[in-house]
Amino acid sequence: GAVVSQHPSRVICKSGTSVKIECRSLDFQATTMFWYRQFPKQSLMLMATSNEGSKATYEQGVEKDKFLINHASLTLSTLTVTSAHPEDSSFYICSAPGAGRETQYFGPGTRLLVL
Amino acid sequence: GQQLNQSPQSMFIQEGEDVSMNCTSSSIFNTWLWYKQDPGEGPVLLIALYKAGELTSNGRLTAQFGITRKDSFLNISASIPSDVGIYFCAGQLSGSARQLTFGSGTQLTVLP
């Protein structure tokens, strides 16, 4: 089946720094990718929809200037958490729709810890 | 964002027992999906349902798409230790470009 990778798998950073997370579709093209955030013991919450060649669409309550999304190619979307703070510590997961009826393939997630 | 109502929140069962969990929504979905998530990993698709009333099996797993399009259940038969994890339902709305809305999850613990 289709594979989605994320890099890095985990990152620890100091408060105030920026962190970039990559999401790649390895054997298929994805004009759309989705970014989710998951806090401990909670469900996945959609943050934004990443669109290749155009601006991302953000969910209500998600700051677009804080969570910068760039979908530069048909296989890569990046999420940059700018000026990260401890409350941004979470598990960030991306997904990409497959070509068939199967809806989405999820990446393995990136654990972010902001100190 | 919107969430689906998923129950139970957690379950502790003996190995070999059957398990049932369900999701309900105030919205109609065109597709219902069930995922399993292991700690520190992304969700893995278990079963996808595309038609109201559809009953689909995947090994020991069986799921149904409610006739009203507002609910779905997942059954696991003869549970084994590796069934431990968090199970999420997810619904997809029509015209949402495959955007998913997730349930709150069911934490399953299988006791030996």
Chain A contact probe: residue of B25, B30, B38, B45 with most A CBs at under 10 A? B45
Residues of A within 8 A of B88 (CB-CB) are 43-44
Q: Residue A58's closest chain B neighbor by CA?
A: B1
pLDDT tens digit sequence for B16-39: 999 999 999 988 898 999 999 998
Q: Residue A104: which of B98, B104, B105 has the nearest Cβ? A: B98
Tell me, yes or no, if B77 comes closer than 8 A to chain A by beta carbon: no
Q: Enter the DSSP assignment of A28.
A: S
Q: Which of A28, A65, A68 has the alpha carbon at shortest distance from A50? A: A68
Residues A43-52 have pLDDT tens digits of 999 999 999 9
Integer Cα distance of B37 and B108 in angstroms: 11
* Chain B neighbors of A44, CB-CB under 8 A: 43, 88, 102
**Residue B104, min C-alpha distance to chain A (Å):** 5
**Alpha-carbon dihedral sign for residues B45, B14, B8, B85:** negative
Residue A100's contacts (CB-CB under 8 Å, 6 or more residues apart) are: none
Query: Which residues neighbour B94 within 8 Å (Cβ) at sequence distance 6 or greater?
Result: B30
Q: What type of residue is B90?
A: A
Radius of gyration of chain A (CA): 13
Are A46 and B99 a contacting pair at CB < 8 A? yes
Coil, strand or helix at A2: coil
| Three-state SS sequence of chain B | CCCEEEECCEEEEECCCCEEEEEECCCCCCEEEEEEECCCCCCEEEEEECCCCCEEEECCEEEEECCCCCEEEEEECCCCHHHCEEEEEEEECCCCCCCEEEECCEEEEEEC
Q: What is the pLDDT along chain B (112 residues), one digit of tens a residue?
A: 456 899 999 999 999 999 999 999 988 898 999 999 998 999 999 999 999 999 999 999 999 999 999 999 999 999 999 999 999 999 987 655 677 889 999 999 999 8
B103 neighbors A43 (Cβ within 8 angstroms): yes
The shortest CB-CB distance from A93 to any of B42, B50, B101 is to B42
Asked if the Cβ–Cβ distance from B42 to A106 is below 8 Å, we say yes
